[in-house]
């Protein structure tokens, strides 16, 4: 099977969140099953480049012809195709700066959609599947039904659109339609019109043969008013074509037994070695003391946005320092949450550490060195960090939503079974109760160790999920 994927980010070329991990790892898992996958993504300012040659590609948006370039890079059996256009992508960030989206995002991602299809159409072999991700690529299935409908390389392809996060909808003023050459015919409720504007995500949902979300629970949640972000009605009408496939995690990248970022590698049989990374992590944050080594270390690695429950934490800023725990955060995002963590760290220098920024290596050290990982999300389509945590013997404290509910088993005190601590109500009090329960449980070393081992033994590999995608693509699974 030949699969064309189009996405706005992919590891190791670009990343702001879990989307990049998925578009990096899923194609490799499909390649291991014997399929051929090409992934088209933009080349951004920070995208690492090699000496691969570039060739010209003309992409027309509306009445403007853009002289772009493409380069191809083979990574673990997957062809990554970078689309170069400095006017659109040579910028400080991927989607916006200073809390504002770039004003021309409608055009930048229309360019990605069209450029990807122009590149695919210029090849010699037809594709069986075109798989797109999130609003940034929502125009791809739209164009496949129209401008590219009879193209020999693409005409037979089935289309699958994956929703990683319904809260990001790519909505723009309707006046973009003629400028992008899409025509007013698209401004209909059964096409791109969305509450008086146009939405690229709606394009992905309405024009794709199948729709997936990144966990089973989220596939159900998106059909409700609470989580549907205005799309619940539309998704209900497409329920028969909608499925939830849990993300896997990249077992090569996230493996405590081989992770070069840890002070000492460890596995389920050598968990005592985990403390070496805890010590190094505390030291790195200037928090190392005999007391800090004794008490549980709570880690957070996150985009600092409302989705991740930081308003709950804001309600507990004066309570956290009274708990018998140390906190380390790595994150970047909304200024008010960055300021909140900076203030916390300066007021409680022995107990709270904060690094504002994006740092892959440090993310590994937090996963490896912390005892608990906190993820109190308001909603969570899948979430990868709680799975990384489990793999590293770091017990997650999570809210029972989306992929968090699907991947963390709440401790059952009667049986001693469980892989983490789960709470339901979205309130500071409920979060605090779960956290206190976790801190109390930490004193029961036997139970703690059993929970660590249970989490480390869970199968979060991509293989099973990749097979689910193959089924959604309409292909027999070997
Ligand atoms: P989301 O995609 O909603 O941000 P996920 O849990 O699916 O949430 O994925 C987040 C990914 O981004 C993880 O791989 C996580 O380690 C990474 N990440 C988030 N913030 C940072 C950061 N500040 N530094 C390094 N990695 C980060
Ligand atoms: C989104 C979601 C996150 C998910 C990731 C990868 O960013 O917020 O929950 O894990 O996409 O699918």
pLDDT at 99: 85
**Cα separation, 372 vs 394, whole angstroms:** 5
Q: Whose CA is nearest to atom 17 of ligand 1?
A: 17
CA 459 to each of CA 151, 307, 463, 465: distance values in angstroms, whole numbers, following the listed order: 41, 26, 10, 11
Under 8 Å between Cβ of 116 and 140: yes
pLDDT at 478: 66
Q: Which residues of 268-281 are buried (b: 16+ CB within 10 A; e: fewer)?
A: beebeebebbbbbb
Instruction: Tell me the CA–centroid distance for residue 53 and ligand 2, in Å.
Output: 33
**Cα separation, 312 vs 471, whole angstroms:** 39
Residue 290 CB partners (closer than 8 Å, separation 6+): none
Instruction: Tell me the CA–centroid distance for residue 362 and ligand 1, in Å.
Output: 12
Strand 36-42, strand 2-6: pairing:
parallel
pLDDT digit string, tens, across residues 413-465: 999 999 999 999 999 999 999 999 999 999 999 999 999 999 999 999 999 99
Best residue for ligand 2 mutational test, from 5, 18, 398, 407 (most atoms within 8 Å of Cβ):
18
pLDDT digit string, tens, across residues 128-177: 999 999 999 999 999 999 999 999 999 999 999 999 999 999 999 999 99
Residue 469's CB is within 10 A of a number of other CB atoms, namely 25
Entry pTM: 0.95
**Cα separation, 40 vs 72, whole angstroms:** 9
Best residue for ligand 2 mutational test, from 9, 27, 201, 214 (most atoms within 8 Å of Cβ):
214
CB 134 less than 6 A from any atom of ligand 2: no
Helix ranges restricted to H, 33-131: 86-89, 105-121
Under 8 Å between Cβ of 397 and 409: no
Q: Which ligand is nearest to the CA of 133?
A: 2
Q: Which residues of the chain fall short of a pLDDT of 50?
A: none
Q: Which residues line ligand 1 (CB under 6 A)?
A: 17-19, 21, 301-303, 330-332, 358-360, 363, 382-385
pLDDT at 475: 87
């Amino acid at each position: 099977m030949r699969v064309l994927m189009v996405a706005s980010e992919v590891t190791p070329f670009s990343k702001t969140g879990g989307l990049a991990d998925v578009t990096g790892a899923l194609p490799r898992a499909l390649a291991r099953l014997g399929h051929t996958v090409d992934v088209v993504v933009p080349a951004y300012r920070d995208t690492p480049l090699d000496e691969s040659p570039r060739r010209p590609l003309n992409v027309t948006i509306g009445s403007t012809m853009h002289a772009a370039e493409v380069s191809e890079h083979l990574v673990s059996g997957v062809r990554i195709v970078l689309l170069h256009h400095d006017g659109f992508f040579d910028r400080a960030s991927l989607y916006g700066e200073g809390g504002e989206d770039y004003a021309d995002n409608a055009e930048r991602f229309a360019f990605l959609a069209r450029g990807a299809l122009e590149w695919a159409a210029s090849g010699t072999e037809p594709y069986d599947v075109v798989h797109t991700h999130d609003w940034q690529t929502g125009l791809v299935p739209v164009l496949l039904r129209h401008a590219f409908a009879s193209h020999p390389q693409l005409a037979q392809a089935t289309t699958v659109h994956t929703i990683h996060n319904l809260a990001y909808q790519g909505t723009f003023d309707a006046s973009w339609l003629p400028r992008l050459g899409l025509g007013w015919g698209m401004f209909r409720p059964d096409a791109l019109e969305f509450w008086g504007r146009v939405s690229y995500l709606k394009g992905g949902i309405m024009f794709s043969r199948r729709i997936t979300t990144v966990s089973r629970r989220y596939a159900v949640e998106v059909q409700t008013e609470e989580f549907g972000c205005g799309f619940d009605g539309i998704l209900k009408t497409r329920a028969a074509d909608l499925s939830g496939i849990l993300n896997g995690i990249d077992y090569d990248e996230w493996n405590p037994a081989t992770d070069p970022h840890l002070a000492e590698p460890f596995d389920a049989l050598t968990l005592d070695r985990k403390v070496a990374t805890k010590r190094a992590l505390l030291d790195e944050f200037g928090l190392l003391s005999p007391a800090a080594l004794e008490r549980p270390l709570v880690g957070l690695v996150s985009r600092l946005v409302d989705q991740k429950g930081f308003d709950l934490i804001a309600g507990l800023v004066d309570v956290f320092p009274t708990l018998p725990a140390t906190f380390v955060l790595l994150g970047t995002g909304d200024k008010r949450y960055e300021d909140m963590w900076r203030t916390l760290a300066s007021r409680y220098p022995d107990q709270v550490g904060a690094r504002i920024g994006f740092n892959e290596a440090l993310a590994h050290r937090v996963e490896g060195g912390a005892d608990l990982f906190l993820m109190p999300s308001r909603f969570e389509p899948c979430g990868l960090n709680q799975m990384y945590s489990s793999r590293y013997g770091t017990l997650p404290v999570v809210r029972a939503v989306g992929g968090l509910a699907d991947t963390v088993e709440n401790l059952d005190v009667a049986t001693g079974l469980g892989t983490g601590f789960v709470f339901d109500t979205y309130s500071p009090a409920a979060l605090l109760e779960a956290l206190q329960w976790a801190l109390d449980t930490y004193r029961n070393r036997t139970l703690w160790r059993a929970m660590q081992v249970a989490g480390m033994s869970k199968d979060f590999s991509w293989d099973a999920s990749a097979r689910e995608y193959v089924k959604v693509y309409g292909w027999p699974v070997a």
